[in-house]
Structures are given as C-alpha cells and as structure tokens.
C-alpha cells in the first residue's frame, strides 16, 4: 500500500479500506493488513481471519499462535489505529454478514453475498443470522457502513477492555509459571503405557477370537489417543508445527482414520443463534443448514436420541473429514510445510483402511464384521459425550464483536469436575474453560493453569462454570429437550393456523 507503518488510521478510514475489500484487523493498537495471497495460505484457515476483520484480535492472536508467529504478524502492520478511551470500537466483519470477495467474469475482485443477513437486535443477543439466498445473488451489491456497525447490546466496552487487560496479565502468569513446557515423561509417559496396554490386550483378545473385548479395547484406544492427537493439532506438544502435525497424522489418520487438518479447522468461532427455526446459512460450513422435515423430526426427538446418535458419531467424523480433504485437494497448499501434509494425510488414511480392513476381514463372518465395527465405534463414543458436555450446555449465542475473548470463552464453555486420579478418562480436557483460553497449553498443565484462571475470573466478576458428570449429562439433555419442546409448540401453532384458515 506504500503507507508508512506510523500512519494513524481513523475508524472511518479503516471502515473505508474494509469496504474496499481489504482484510484488516487490530493487533495491540496496530493495524494489520492480511494480503490476499497469505489469506488462502493461513494454516488456521481463511475463515478464522475473515471472522476477525475490523476487530481487535490481539487476545486471539496470542492464544492461537506461537510468540514467533505473533512477531511475524508485525510484518503486515500498515500503521496504528485511533484507539478510543475503551480501546478499539470494533466493526462487524463483512463475512459475518455473508459477504465474500470473489473474481468477477472480467477477472476483477468484487463483493458477493453468499447469504441474506438479518440482525437480531434484542437486548440479550446481538447475533447476525444468515439465511440462505433464494436464487442467484446480485453481484452489483456491496456491504455498506451500516453492515459494519454492530447491533446495539448491553455489553460495556469499558468492562470488556478490563476483561481483555486481565486476560493479558493472566496469560503472562501462565507463561511465568512455566506451564507451556510439555511434561513428556510425567504427562505423556503414563498415556503411552495406557495406549500400549489397550493395544496389547485388544490384540491378545482378537487372537483368541474374543471379538467383543477386542473391539472394546480398540474403541477405548481410539478415545484415548484422540486426546493426544488433539494436543498435537493445537501445536501444544513440541510447539513445533511440522513435528506436531506429523505425529498427529500418525495418531489421527493412521491409527484413527480421521483427518487431523479437518479437526484443526473446526475451531468453534462460529456460533449461531437458536432464535429462529428457519433454514440458516452457516458461515463456517458455507452451506445452507436446511430446516426440513427430517431436521424437524430429529430436533423434536433429540433429547431421547442423544446417546444413540452419539454412539454412531465416529462415522460422521469419517464423512466430514474426507469431505474436507476432498475440498482442500483443490485449494492452494497451506503456508506451513506447503502441501506435504495433504499427501501424508491421504497416505496415512490409506494405511488405516488397510490395517482396519484386515482386522475386519479376520473376524470371519459378516455378522462378526458388523458386530466388531459397531462395538469398536460405540466404545469410542464416550469421547463424543465428553465433547458435547463441555461445549453445548452453555450459551451458543454470539454477543457480537464487542465481547472480549476472555468473557466469551468463560460464558460459552464449562469444566467437568473430576478427581485428578481419574482425569485420564477425560484426557484432561474436562478442563475445557482453560483449554479454550489457552489452546496451545500442554494438556497435562491445564489443572494448574485452571486454578490461576479461576482467580482472575473471580476478580473480574465472571462465572467459571463447572459441573459433575451426571449433572452435566442432565443439563445437556435438558437443553436438548427445551429446543425439542419449542419445535413442538411451533408445530402446534402452525396446525392451529391451518385449521383457522380452513374454517374461514
Ligand atoms: C497476519 C496475520 C496472521 C498470521 C501471519 C498467522 C499465522 C498463523 C500460523 C503460522 C499458524 C500455525 C500455528 C503457529 O505457528 O503459531 C496459525 C494458526 C492459526 N491461526 Fe493464524 N495467523 C494470522 C492471523 C490470525 C487471526 C486474525 C486469527 C483469528 C483469530 C488466526 C487464527 C488462527 C487459528 C485458529 C490457528 C490454528 C491454531 C490451532 O490449531 O490451535 N490467525 N496462524
């Protein structure tokens, strides 16, 4: 852009650049411009950056990246921004309104609206709901200043600024306590013994023809090993991207048959509001989530089907992750390590199907194959219940860009209380609040870090939510039932409207 990095950008100038198609975000008072060429190469995916355009992403930058990467972002600084008394007054990223940049027929970049945006302006929520567009989208339209302004809500910018400052101090305390150092021997040592025992017992049982115990061991092995693959996906083990990615491909793809890159790109930035039961456009999946007859049926029964659906959830991981690999086959290779990871993942998946196929074949008969497949997959499903518990019993509302990272993570996540002696069952990830605040923190240090987080949360008057396993299960099923009941009420209202219409 040819501008000296000392230039101070006003809020209006930043808005004008964003509306002109620039990808800009704020990092500690600096304005960072992400070049289009880098956007498509970003190892965390382009969507994570697009959801932060016009916002202060300082906390997220520190949480998701190594100090070296944060340092590297400074190469993209194009100046400073005019900070108000309460920090940067954020914009709504155009992407949150459904706006994307794409090439027109004559090769120029232009705005294109993927979905219709509706702002919810209730006091409780400042969400933007994206509805599927009917028919073709007019390409001559573009986002306006009004699209960038957040809907009014009750959050105080001053308070959110104080939360952000507290988060910075908290992060420093965690670093000073040495909690970013991975505990290879005392942390992963017992884990490796556990994995090896499950494999050994499973193999012995299989060789003796005891297929059910063998399948259970395999399922439990998958459940346990997922936690290590998860750590590696967050670059939380060696903190070296290539090494961590390589080991995670071995564990997730080769051992478990699931793509690790798909999972890494699943970071839950993108909550949607449950306010309307209509087909919604997901800015994460980039497709319409249709509210059709099957969804209506399953939603109305979801509290009853919860464990049944989750017992088969691993099959969904296969489908979703292979779709992701298919899609990324045609995308530019990600910056870190180029495209090697894609080939490594596909190769490792090929090996997975070879060994798992041989295991199934060795079961002898079709009923045995089916039984082995189902039992092993159902045994691993404990993990899915664990994930749902820590994420979905809390609010999924998006309160808009003013809310600080610290407050948002505490509001939307919950810990499952569990004695230290058996926390390996949860893989340490029952300490989900602290994990969301510091995703790169080695898992075995989360307990110590969570004590510091609780102190800070208390000081800032923020709730640090925790519940027991049984209570948590009850809570999740309660939330599912509430939604199911709302669907039934909508159905009853629709029926009565039809009856009234027929009478008149
Ligand atoms: C110029 C700006 C940016 C650069 C150069 C950059 C670079 C990187 C790099 C190199 C990684 C791999 C991990 C690492 O080495 O630290 C990464 C991961 C990631 N980035 Fe960025 N990034 C930028 C902006 C952002 C922004 C604004 C966000 C959104 C808040 C974001 C979200 C992520 C996420 C979610 C990951 C994956 C982290 C994980 O798996 O734990 N990045 N980025």
Token pair of 149 as six digits: 């302004």
Q: What is the pLDDT of residue 169?
A: 97
* Consecutive H or E run containing 451: helix 446-459
- Give me the phi and psi of 31, to 5 degrees please: -100, 120
Sign of CA dihedral 127, 132, 137, 138: negative
- Tens digit of each residue's pLDDT (9 = 90 or more) over 46-89: 888 999 999 999 999 999 999 999 999 999 999 999 999 999 99
| CB contact burial 346-364 (16+ within 10 A = b; e otherwise) | eebbeebeeebeebbeebe
Integer Cα distance of 341 and 336 in angstroms: 9
Q: What ipTM, to 2 d.p.?
A: 0.95
Q: Which atom of ligand 1 is nearest to the CA of 235?
A: 41
Q: Which atom of ligand 1 is nearest to the CA of 60?
A: 30
Integer Cα distance of 322 and 296 in angstroms: 27
Residue 348 neighbours by CB under 8 Å, 6+ apart: 249, 250, 253, 254
Integer Cα distance of 255 and 91 in angstroms: 43
Q: Which atom of ligand 1 is nearest to the CA of 236?
A: 41
Q: In what order do the strands lie in the sheet with 128-132?
A: 115-119, 128-132, 280-282, 287-289
* Consecutive H or E run containing 101: strand 99-103
- The one-character DSSP state at 137 is P
Ligand 1 center from residue 156 Cα (angstroms): 28
Q: Which atom of ligand 1 is nearest to the CA of 69?
A: 16
Q: What is the pLDDT of residue 501?
A: 65
Residue 437 neighbours by CB under 8 Å, 6+ apart: 63, 167, 170, 405, 406, 409, 410, 453
Integer Cα distance of 399 and 154 in angstroms: 9
Distances (CA, A) of 332 to 111, 318, 336: 21, 23, 12
Q: Kindly give the interhelix angle for 382-392 and 469-503, rounded to the nearest 10 degrees.
A: 70
Exposed, middle or buried: residue 470 (CB in 10 Å: 0-12, 13-18, 19+)? exposed
Integer Cα distance of 384 and 309 in angstroms: 10
Integer Cα distance of 402 and 208 in angstroms: 60
| CB contact burial 186-202 (16+ within 10 A = b; e otherwise) | ebbeebeeebeebeebb
The number of helices, as runs of H, and strands, as runs of E, in the chain is: 20, 12
Q: Which residue in 88, 90, 74 sits closest to 34, CA to CA?
A: 74
Domain ranges of the chain: 8-97+110-154, 170-275+298-459
Superfamily (CATH H level) for 8-97+110-154: Cytochrome b5-like heme/steroid binding domain (3.10.120.10)
Q: What is the pLDDT of residue 5?
A: 78
Place of tokens 């040819």: 2
- Tens digit of each residue's pLDDT (9 = 90 or more) over 98-149: 888 888 888 888 898 877 666 655 544 556 666 666 655 555 588 999 989 9
- Give me the phi and psi of 229, to 5 degrees please: -60, -40
Ligand 1 center from residue 37 Cα (angstroms): 15
* Consecutive H or E run containing 233: helix 211-233
Q: Which residue in 396, 420, 460 sits closest to 161, CA to CA?
A: 460
Integer Cα distance of 56 and 31 in angstroms: 9
Token pair of 477 as six digits: 């099923």
Q: Which atom of ligand 1 is nearest to the CA of 335?
A: 10
Integer Cα distance of 210 and 474 in angstroms: 35
CA-closest residue to ligand 1 atom 33: 44
Q: What's the CA angle centered on 454, arms 449 and 455, to 5 degrees?
A: 100
Q: Ligand 1: which residues within 6 Å by Cβ?
A: 25, 32, 34, 42-44, 48-49, 52, 57, 60-61, 64-66, 69, 72-73, 76, 233-235, 241, 264, 267, 336, 439-440
Q: What is the pLDDT of residue 140?
A: 53
Integer Cα distance of 358 and 376 in angstroms: 15
Q: What is the pLDDT of residue 223?
A: 96
Q: Which residue ranges of the chain lie beneath pLDDT 50?
A: 1, 123-124, 268-276
Q: What is the pLDDT of residue 273?
A: 40
Integer Cα distance of 382 and 222 in angstroms: 10
* Consecutive H or E run containing 112: strand 109-113
Ligand 1 center from residue 263 Cα (angstroms): 15
The residues that bridge with 9 in the sheet, in sequence order, are 81
Alpha helices in 40-82 (DSSP H): 46-50, 58-64, 67-73
Q: What is the pLDDT of residue 121?
A: 55
């Amino acid at each position: 852009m040819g501008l000296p990095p000392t230039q101070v950008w006003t809020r209006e100038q930043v808005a004008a650049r964003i509306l002109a198609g620039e990808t800009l975000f704020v990092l500690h008072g600096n304005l960072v411009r992400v070049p289009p060429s880098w956007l498509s190469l970003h190892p965390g995916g382009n969507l994570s950056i697009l959801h932060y355009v016009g916002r202060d992403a300082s906390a997220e930058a520190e949480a998701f990246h190594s100090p070296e990467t944060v340092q590297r972002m400074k190469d993209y600084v194009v100046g400073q921004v005019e900070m108000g008394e309460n920090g940067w007054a954020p914009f709504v990223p155009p992407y949150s309104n459904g706006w994307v940049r794409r090439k027109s027929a004559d090769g120029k970049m232009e705005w294109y609206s993927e979905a219709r945006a509706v702002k919810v302006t209730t006091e409780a929520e400042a969400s933007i709901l994206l509805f599927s567009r009917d028919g073709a989208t007019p390409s001559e339209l573009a986002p306006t200043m009004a699209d960038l302004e957040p809907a009014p809500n009750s959050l105080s910018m001053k308070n959110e600024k104080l939360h952000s400052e507290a988060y910075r101090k908290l992060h420093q305390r965690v670093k000073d306590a040495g909690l970013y150092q991975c505990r290879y021997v005392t942390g992963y040592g017992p884990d490796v013994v556990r994995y090896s025992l499950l494999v050994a017992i499973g193999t012995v049982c299989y060789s003796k023809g005891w297929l059910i115990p063998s399948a259970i061991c395999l399922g439990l092995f998958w459940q346990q090993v997922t936690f290590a693959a998860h750590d590696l996906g967050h670059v939380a083990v060696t903190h070296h991207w290539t090494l961590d990615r390589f080991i995670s491909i071995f564990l997730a793809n080769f051992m478990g048959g699931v793509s690790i890159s798909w999972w890494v790109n699943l970071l839950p930035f993108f909550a949607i509001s449950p306010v309307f039961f209509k087909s919604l456009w997901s800015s994460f999946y980039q497709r319409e989530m249709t509210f059709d007859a099957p969804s209506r049926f399953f939603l109305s029964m979801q509290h009853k089907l919860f464990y049944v659906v989750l017992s088969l959830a691993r099959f969904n991981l296969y489908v979703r992750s292979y779709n992701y690999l298919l899609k990324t086959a045609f995308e530019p290779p990600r910056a870190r390590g180029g495209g090697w990871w894609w080939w490594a993942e596909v190769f490792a998946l090929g090996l997975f199907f070879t060994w798992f196929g041989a295991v199934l074949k060795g079961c002898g008969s079709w009923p045995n194959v089916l039984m082995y497949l189902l039992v092993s997959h159902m045994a691993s499903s404990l993990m899915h219940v664990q994930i749902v518990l820590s994420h979905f019993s809390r609010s999924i509302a998006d309160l808009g860009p003013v809310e600080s990272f610290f407050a948002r993570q505490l509001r939307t996540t919950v810990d499952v209380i569990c004695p230290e002696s058996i926390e390996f069952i949860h893989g340490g990830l029952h300490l989900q609040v602290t994990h969301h605040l510091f995703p790169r923190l080695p898992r075995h240090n989360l307990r110590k870090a969570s004590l510091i987080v609780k102190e800070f949360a208390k000081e800032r008057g923020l709730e640090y939510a925790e519940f027991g396993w049984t209570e948590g299960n009850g809570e999740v099923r309660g939330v599912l039932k509430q939604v199911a009941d709302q669907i039934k009420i909508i159905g009853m209202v629709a029926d009565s409207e039809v009856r009234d219409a027929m009478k008149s």
